[in-house]
């Protein structure tokens, strides 16, 4: 499908992203984020690699269910990192499609009662440095309303070199919730790795009186306990 046809089929925000991306590629061709070939910012082959393949895994001692749209590897990993760390917000539409697919996989299990989508909170510093909150941008591009119930009480240390147990200790007490009383909550994040951050957020929501049904993410690492 051409950029123009994709834009015509997309929603208003996604259409603007696609058109701006197409204009940029005409004026200043860039390497594909996925494979490095010169041309579109995401070439046709890499765009096909971003087709959602929803999966389910369970994290934490309570087995919190987490539905994800993509495996966090290869093209998906490259695109997500560029979106989060390099200001490549034109990559939001395919990531939004993946998040929507994760939600569609979760909904049949959650029942028909209302569910509040609650994004994980970003630090003030990361939002200021980036100029945007990646999780909330993807939610908006997916046209999914969300409720801000979570706030950071303190900043955890860098988790990248930590194992699962150390991550759990590191994030303990970092998140608080308010306004959650009686709400049925589905947490939202970009990537789930060990699940420590989501587990801490779920604890905070429960302390505030909310009912945590699970979480949805754009992507998940290979630490899986469930099947597609």
Output phi, psi for 31, to 5 deg: -65, 145
Looking at residue 174, its pLDDT comes to: 77
Reading the block at residue 66, the tokens are 């987490």
Output phi, psi for 118, to 5 deg: -120, 110
Looking at residue 227, its pLDDT comes to: 42
On whether the pTM is more than 0.95, the answer is no
Looking at residue 163, its pLDDT comes to: 52
Looking at residue 123, its pLDDT comes to: 74
The span from the CA of 57 to the CA of 116, in Å, is 20
* Residue pLDDT, tens place only, 96-143: 999 999 999 999 999 999 999 999 998 767 777 788 999 999 999 999
Query: What percentage of the chain reaches a pLDDT higher than 70?
Result: 75
Flag whether pLDDT at 93 surpasses 80: yes
The span from the CA of 213 to the CA of 110, in Å, is 7
Mean of per-residue pLDDT scores for the chain: 84
C-alpha distances in angstroms, 215 versus 18, 77, 199? 28, 19, 10
Higher pLDDT, 94 or 227: 94
Reading the block at residue 225, the tokens are 């306990």
Mean pLDDT value of segment 140-155: 89
Strands (E), 9-130: 30-31, 38-39, 55-59, 64-71, 116-119
Query: DSSP assignment, residue 158?
Result: P
Burial of 130 (0-12, 13-18, 19+ CB in 10 A): middle
Tokens 């569609």 belong to residue: 104
* Residue pLDDT, tens place only, 6-24: 434 445 665 566 566 555 5
Q: How confident is the model at residue 224 (pLDDT cuts 50, 70, 90)?
A: very low
The span from the CA of 202 to the CA of 186, in Å, is 9
Cβ–Cβ contacts within 10 Å for residue 10, how many? 18
Higher pLDDT, 154 or 177: 177
Reading the block at residue 159, the tokens are 């988790």
Query: Domain residues of the chain, as ranges?
Result: 51-220
Q: How confident is the model at residue 39 (pLDDT cuts 50, 70, 90)?
A: confident
Q: Strands 175-177 and 55-59, how do they pair?
A: unpaired
The span from the CA of 69 to the CA of 110, in Å, is 17
SS3 72: coil
Looking at residue 40, its pLDDT comes to: 87
Looking at residue 165, its pLDDT comes to: 55
Flag whether pLDDT at 37 surpasses 90: yes
The highest-level CATH class for domain 51-220 is alpha beta
């Amino acid at each position: 499908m051409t950029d123009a046809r994709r834009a015509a089929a997309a929603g208003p925000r996604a259409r603007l992203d696609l058109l701006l991306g197409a204009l940029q590629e005409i004026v200043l061709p860039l390497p594909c984020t996925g494979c490095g070939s010169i041309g579109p910012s995401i070439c046709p082959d890499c765009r096909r690699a971003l087709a959602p393949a929803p999966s389910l895994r369970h994290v934490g001692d309570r087995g919190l269910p987490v539905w994800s749209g993509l495996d966090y590897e290869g093209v998906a990993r490259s695109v997500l990192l560029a979106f989060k760390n390099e200001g490549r917000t034109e990559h939001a539409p395919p990531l939004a499609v993946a998040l929507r697919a994760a939600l569609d996989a979760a909904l049949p299990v959650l029942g028909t009662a209302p569910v509040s989508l609650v994004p994980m909170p970003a630090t003030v510093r990361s939002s200021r440095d980036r100029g945007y909150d990646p999780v909330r941008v993807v939610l908006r591009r997916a046209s999914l309303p969300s409720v801000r119930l979570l706030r950071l009480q303190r900043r955890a240390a860098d988790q990248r070199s930590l194992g699962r147990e150390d991550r759990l200790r590191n994030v303990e007490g970092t998140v608080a919730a308010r306004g959650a009383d009686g709400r049925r909550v589905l947490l939202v994040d970009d990537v789930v790795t060990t699940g420590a951050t989501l587990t801490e957020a779920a604890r905070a929501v429960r302390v505030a009186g909310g009912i945590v049904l699970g979480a949805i993410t754009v992507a998940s690492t290979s630490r899986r306990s469930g099947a597609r």
